[in-house]
Amino acid sequence: MLHRGNLRRVVGASAVVVLLAALMAFYVAGRAGAGPARCQQHRVDARDRATIVTGEGPRTLVIGDSWSVGLGQDDLGRSWASRLAGEVHVAGFSGSGFSARASTCGRVSFHDRAPTALDVRPALVVVEGGLNDYDQPAAAIDRGFRDLMADLAGQRVVVVGPAAAPVRAGAVPRVDGLLASLSEQYGVPYVQTSDLDLDYLDDRLHLTEGGHEEFGRTVAERIAAVSPRRPVVLAR
């Protein structure tokens, strides 16, 4: 029979084990950005954002991640993309990126979603992302970028790279440099945003409303300063 003091220690140790297990499960789920409920919510947000069209003029299509969707905002229609010129359509999916496995929600990479997104017949395609590719190998990012450029052959394209969100800032230089190099290889302009000092939500990954305003305004200005081009078709 356990002494009362020993019993308290056993119960206390068991509680610690349970707590650690719960924290580990939370960490894994958060890292994946997935789980059935999370992925379903991402799909709902993506559909809702796709129905919101802002601005007037030549059609601009934004293919992007949670920043384009407006994750964390009360009004998805006020995401940074709404600051772009023209009639802006957004094909975003939270957690997605250039590489196929940036998200664990299935086939939602930029390449996977581009063919359907192009149904809006845009005059300009803006591809925004890279933060979710932070832990993906260079070969996977390269492959996803290559496939995306093939999807966008004949389209006027600009690629917008990742800002230095605090929680992933350490990985941004690698992804930023790789995307800049790939953009040059395929002959499309690259808009760098890793120099921006933006306001973030408490998760230190997603933008506040003010952050969206600044990011959108700056990206719009930088896009206006470059000449969107059609991707070079390279042999596979």
Average pLDDT over residues 79-84: 98
pLDDT band at 16 (very low <50, low <70, confident <90, very high): very low
Res 18: pLDDT: 40
pLDDT, tens only, 197-218: 999 999 999 999 999 999 999 9
pLDDT band at 236 (very low <50, low <70, confident <90, very high): low
Cα separation, 214 vs 203, whole angstroms: 18
Torsion of CA 62, 216, 132, 146, to 10 degrees: 40
Average pLDDT over residues 63-83: 97
Torsion of CA 174, 175, 177, 183, to 10 degrees: 160
More confident residue, 86 or 23: 86
Res 36: pLDDT: 82
Query: What b/e readout covers 42-77, taking b as 16+ CB neighbours within 10 angstroms?
Result: beebbeebbebebbeeebbbbbbbbbbbbbbbeebb
Look-up of token digits 């590719």? 133
175 by Cβ neighbours in 10 Å (0-12 / 13-18 / 19+) ranks as buried
pLDDT band at 140 (very low <50, low <70, confident <90, very high): very high
Tell me, what amino acid is at 208? T
pLDDT, tens only, 164-177: 999 999 999 999 99
Cα separation, 143 vs 151, whole angstroms: 12
pLDDT band at 70 (very low <50, low <70, confident <90, very high): very high
Res 30: pLDDT: 42
pLDDT band at 35 (very low <50, low <70, confident <90, very high): confident
Judged against a pLDDT cut of 50, whether residue 158 lies above it is answered with: yes
187 by Cβ neighbours in 10 Å (0-12 / 13-18 / 19+) ranks as middle
pTM of the model: 0.85
Token pair for 172? 């941004």
